[in-house]
Amino acid sequence: MEKLFTLLDANYNEMVGIRRHLHEYPELSFEEVETPSYIATFHRELGHVVREGVGGRGVVAILRGGKPGKTVALRADFDALAIQEENDVPYKSKIAGKMHACGHDGHTATLLGLAKALNAMRDQIEGNVVFIHQHAEEVAPGGAKPMIKDGCLEGVDVIFGTHLWAPTPLGEILVKDGAIMAAADKVEITVQGKGGHGAEPHHSIDAVTLASQFVVNAQQLVSRRIDPLKSAVLTIGHFEAINPFNVIADRVVLAGTIRTFEEEVRIQMEQELEAVLNATCLAFGASYEYRYTRGYPPVYNHQRETEFLAQLASTVPGVDQVITCPPFMIGEDFAYYLEKVPGTFFFTGAKKPEWETAYPHHHARFDFDERAMLIAAKTLGKATLTYLKEN
């Protein structure tokens, strides 16, 4: 294992260079062209078997070890977000309105640096390593599902993945078996009333008042309808009525997200949210349109693989603590991989020691401590080699 760590230390500056290059040239979900080409070229130069266009825009590279054995898959995503970067750094995004604001540039650099180190040890590896470079994690239906359908998990025995996590201090690894991330669903609603003059509300059906009442009523679902020992989040993040100031709106468009861990709670939220909407509209003679779209399912880590990862992570250079974390209400399409093969998804702390607080993921000033990439690569690398040796 020392050889792997030494190789990764030697590759660190290259990893930083890769990350910064990708950061300067971000590409949005389902629009990735240059990024997958860059990734494929890197792997081909190492002599790996490479497939491009997997499930759309994904890249899969295979390192075949010098000895027979099992197959480990490692996954990194590479899409960016439609955000205008506000950081003043040498590697600031050069593409207006686009930014790597979630660390996917770091995920990709981590996996490429690790691929190079493992390739240098190819003859000693007892099995195979599949590098899954996934497009479009940020936007449902995501890239994982079509990549799986296109065969990225064929022959894979186990899968590991990590997310560089800026709110958590550098040197900490967060693990949890079972549900670690939530199902992420979307709701879109149109409330249709009857417009009128602002001075004559009695001749109208005020869609703004009605929609406002619905938003307030809906908040009681989590506090009064969901079992308090279970979890759910309902957020209405979009409320739009384009009207002059003195006109009663006839139409309001709303959109929001629902986050849950359990299927029965997911179903309950979907059904009862519409029931609240129906009752609110019925009381005032309005109509509505209701669209509930299921996003990614919850991320459920397998117990054996999570315990395996937690034990070995504590001995990785740079790791100060391995912490069992509470589940997060954020979503991730890594969930689809874990529905097919055993594995675990963990968080690698990436907050710089000098930061009092870190800007959150998806913020225009998001950044992370690049040393977290080295810790992530060493943890994933040790998990890979240990699993192959033990199995």
Positive or negative CA dihedral for 352, 312, 128, 143? Answer: negative
Helix or strand holding residue 344 (H, E): strand 343-351
| 137 noted as active-site residue | yes
Residue 137, beta-bridge partner list: none
Catalytic residue among 32, 137, 206, 370: 137
C-beta neighbour count of 238 within 10 angstroms: 12
107: left (phi over 0), alpha (psi -120 to 50) or beta: alpha
Among residues 32, 79, 185, 333, the one annotated as catalytic is: 79
What secondary structure does DSSP assign to 204-246, as a single string?
SB-HHHHHHHHHHHHTHIIIIIS-TTS-EEEEEEEEE----TT
Please tell me what DSSP assigns to residue 55.
Answer: T
CA–CA distance, 309 with 343 (Å, rounded to integer):
9
Provide the 3-class DSSP secondary structure of residue 388: helix
Which residues are known catalytic residues?
79, 137
